[in-house]
């Protein structure tokens, strides 16, 4: 847990830190983090379907919901989903279909409930240590099932003021009686995501649950390490058998570079030739089409000339010409 003295000296973030510039800079650029964006909508729709398959919640609350994309996806799956976020901008710019499900609220305030599921995705690393612990208290008080993730290594974003390894967050939830569901793979959300459930476990049960995952993992690592070592030894044998040696001479390096450059030039020329051949093919196709149109025009012209000749040689045409001539004499 975090002491009051630690909290007094820790930086904190607020609503103004998560305005439009934040979303442009950190969530896809060009303000793409919206339900209307195909990629984001597909991601959260898939996540919601997996969550419903794992937990089957009737009610849910997304703490730190941003613009409510997960809330909207869960609602589409029939869940009575709600969300809270500290950012006025996020709630105000959410999709109209989900806006009435969202509220501006800090996770340090009581969350109501109970909910069948609370999700908290990439939120607590943005909070001061003391506020993050308050948020965990409030989350644990409002549900028995929590889907949680917090980046263990992203120290580069300015608002990530409270980054910790996943095991530390897991330990803090364990202090409150929440333990990882080892049968649930929630890496579809993030590689470090965890599904917690409230449980009254004995020390023996806790050790048994974690050992059931740790031992197979250690065996797998050992087998892969052995396979890697065997492959490395086999590669060394092959190199020795064919006389492969390392290039250490500067002249050889320069010669190799020249050869590679020449190959690049040849490949470039081949690409240019291929492109020009495609362009020539297109020009030939267009020329053929133009010729066909010209032939059609010539045929139509010849037909029209034949029709004119036929008209001029007809009795009607000759009589008409004679009458027209008489009219001119009268004038």
DSSP code string of 276-294 = HHHHHHHHHHHHHHHHHHH
**Is there a single domain that holds both residue 135 and residue 56?**
yes
- Beta strands 194-198 and 178-180, pairing class: antiparallel
- Whether residue 321 is contained in a domain is answered as no
Confidence (pTM):
0.66
**Is there a single domain that holds both residue 240 and residue 183?**
no
- 120-153, pLDDT tens digit by residue? 999 999 999 999 999 999 999 999 999 999 999 9
Q: Helices 38-55 and 69-76 sit at what angle, rounded to 10 degrees?
A: 60
> Phi, psi (5° rounding) for residue 308?
-65, -45
**Is there a single domain that holds both residue 193 and residue 234?**
no
Q: Helices 129-141 and 166-175 sit at what angle, rounded to 10 degrees?
A: 50
Tokens of 323: 């009458």
Tokens of 79: 């869940």
Give the range of the structural domain holding residue 228, as residue numbers without chain letter. Answer: 207-245
- 280-317, pLDDT tens digit by residue? 887 787 788 788 888 888 888 888 888 777 777 776 65
**Mean predicted confidence (pLDDT) in 76-82:** 97
Looking at the structure of the chain, the number of domains it has is: 3
Q: Note the residue count of the chain.
A: 331
**Mean predicted confidence (pLDDT) in 231-241:** 79
Find, among 179, 120, 172, 111, the residue nearest to 144 by Cα.
179
- Whether residue 30 is contained in a domain is answered as yes
Judged against a pLDDT cut of 90, whether residue 190 lies above it is answered with: yes
- Whether residue 331 is contained in a domain is answered as no
Output DSSP code: residue 127: S
CATH of residue 65's domain is 3.40.50.150
Strand partners, 103: 84
**Is there a single domain that holds both residue 138 and residue 235?**
no
């Amino acid at each position: 847990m975090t002491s009051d003295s630690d909290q007094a000296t820790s930086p904190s973030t607020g609503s103004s830190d998560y305005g439009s510039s934040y979303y442009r800079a950190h969530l896809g650029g060009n303000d793409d983090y919206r339900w209307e964006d195909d990629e984001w909508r597909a991601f959260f729709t898939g996540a919601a379907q997996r969550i419903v398959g794992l937990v089957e919640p009737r009610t849910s609350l997304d703490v730190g919901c941003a613009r409510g994309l997960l809330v909207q996806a869960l609602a589409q799956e029939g869940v009575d989903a709600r969300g809270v976020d500290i950012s006025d901008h996020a709630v105000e710019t959410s999709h109209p279909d989900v806006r009435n499900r969202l509220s501006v609220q800090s996770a340090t305030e009581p969350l109501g409930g109970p909910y069948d599921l609370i999700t908290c995705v990439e939120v607590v690393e943005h909070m001061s240590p003391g506020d993050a612990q308050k948020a965990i208290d409030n989350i644990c008080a409002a549900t028995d099932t929590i889907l949680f993730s917090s980046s263990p290594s992203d120290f580069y974003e300015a608002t990530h003021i409270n980054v910790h390894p996943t095991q530390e967050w897991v330990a803090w939830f364990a202090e409150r009686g929440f333990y990882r569901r080892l049968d649930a793979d929630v890496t579809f959300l993030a590689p470090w995501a965890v599904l917690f459930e409230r449980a009254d476990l004995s020390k023996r049960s806790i050790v048994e649950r974690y050992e059931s995952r740790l031992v197979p993992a250690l065996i797998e690592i050992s087998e892969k390490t052995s396979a890697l070592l065997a492959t490395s030894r086999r590669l060394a044998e092959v190199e020795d058998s064919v006389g492969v040696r390392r290039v250490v001479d500067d002249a050889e390096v320069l010669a190799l570079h020249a050869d590679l450059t020449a190959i690049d030039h040849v490949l470039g020329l081949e690409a240019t030739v291929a492109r020009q051949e495609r362009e020539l093919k297109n020009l030939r196709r267009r020329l053929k089409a133009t010729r066909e149109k010209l032939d059609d025009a010539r045929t139509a012209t010849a037909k029209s000339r034949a029709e004119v000749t036929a008209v001029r040689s007809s009795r009607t045409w000759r009589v008409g010409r004679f009458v027209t001539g008489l009219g001119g004499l009268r004038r």
